[in-house]
Amino acid sequence: MREITYRQALNEALAEEIARDPNVFLIGEEVAEYNGAYKVSQGLLDKFGPQRIIDTPISENGFAGLGIGAAMVGLRPIVEFMTFSFSFVAFDQVVNNAPNMLTMSGGQFNIPITFRGPNGPAHQLGATHSHATECLYANVPGLKICTPATPRDAKGLLKTAVRDNNPVLVLESELLYSHKGMVEEESEELLIPLGEAEVKQEGSDVTIICYAQTLALALAAAETLAKENINAEVIDLRSIKPLDWKTVFNSIKKTHRVVIAEQDRPWCGVGAEIAYRIQREIFDELDAPVQRVSQEDVPMPYNEALEKAVLPSAEKIVAAVKKICS
């Protein structure tokens, strides 16, 4: 094992999959000559050339559609959106075409395409660059959604996504690109299945369910709670769709209390679905109502203090836990 950044882990995943399979290529804005807007594709143009690492015009609808067409004829495109807020320009391609082609063609066309890039709020990017898109895309049958929160998960999930025969969205985070973590050596194959959550910290008093940016907040909250003799179990979903209900339910059966921490807004969010499934499947295991910590239901402010007030935080998670553990 060695310590590398989230950005480097993604770069390794891209390089390994492009080298492994001649049908894999990367396409998007500034992925080649500029080495990626966030330097995730650093060095890939020099290594693989312009037929495998392809710069595009600023036309998300166009290059997303090109990727879907390429997938229909047997290639495995990796389409980078500079931010998933820009994927809305390609909404018709991602929502209407990629996930429906298999069914509408009567099984004739698989679409092995990966859409990847930063998702969710970063730091003072304003309302139109801060969307957390997971609940929108998770609503679409035929799309798979993963949300890596650590370098190891970023590498393992991206490699798995590229090999999947269906459209997969790898929702990264701009705020995590420089974060470091332990990852297997490059000589070791690392594949993490979609739909397998991971218990990042064992606990007995309350389950904190989180993903993406909220993992760090949940772990910080758990550390604070431990000083007050509240033992929190932290579950990183890693995959929004498919979602690992077995791991979630087993944890709640042990702790009997749950807080859901999500980076998205509350209305129709991922946390709403999780809360519904918990009360439907294991209601009798609960000793307190399910709590949710999310963004506030407002457009993202640019002002730093207002942005902080809108976003989920470790302090908000601590408060939610105390509410049900008192």
Q: What is the mean pLDDT of the chain?
A: 96
Across the range 192-197, mean pLDDT stands at: 98
- Count other C-beta atoms under 10 Å from residue 237's C-beta: 29
Tokens of 100: 């429906």
Least confident of 117-126, 227-236, 250-259: 117-126
Across the range 103-118, mean pLDDT stands at: 96
High-pLDDT (> 90) share of the chain, %? 99
Q: Which tens digit of pLDDT belongs to each residue from 149-179?
A: 999 999 999 999 999 999 999 999 999 999 9
| Domains in the chain: ranges and CATH | 2-183 (3.40.50.970), 198-325 (3.40.50.920)
In the predicted model, is pLDDT for residue 220 greater than 90?
A: yes
Structural contact between residues 89 and 60, judged by C-beta atoms closer than 8 angstroms? yes
Distances (CA, A) of 186 to 24, 80, 203, 300: 19, 23, 32, 39
Rounded Cα distance between 213 and 263, Å, is 7
pLDDT at 110: 94
Closest CA to 80 of 23, 2, 161: 161
Helices vs strands, H then E, count in the chain: 12, 14
Across the range 253-258, mean pLDDT stands at: 98
Model confidence band, residue 326 (pLDDT cutoffs 50, 70, 90): confident
Structural contact between residues 79 and 113, judged by C-beta atoms closer than 8 angstroms? yes
Model confidence band, residue 187 (pLDDT cutoffs 50, 70, 90): confident
In the predicted model, is pLDDT for residue 36 greater than 90?
A: yes
Q: Which tens digit of pLDDT belongs to each residue from 84-99?
A: 999 999 999 999 999 9
Across the range 279-308, mean pLDDT stands at: 96
Q: Which residues are catalytic?
A: 60, 129
> Is the backbone of residue 144 left (phi > 0), alpha (psi -120 to 50) or beta?
beta
Across the range 125-145, mean pLDDT stands at: 95
Would you give the DSSP letter of residue 210?
E
High-pLDDT (> 70) share of the chain, %? 100
Model confidence band, residue 114 (pLDDT cutoffs 50, 70, 90): very high
Model confidence band, residue 236 (pLDDT cutoffs 50, 70, 90): very high
Across the range 221-246, mean pLDDT stands at: 97
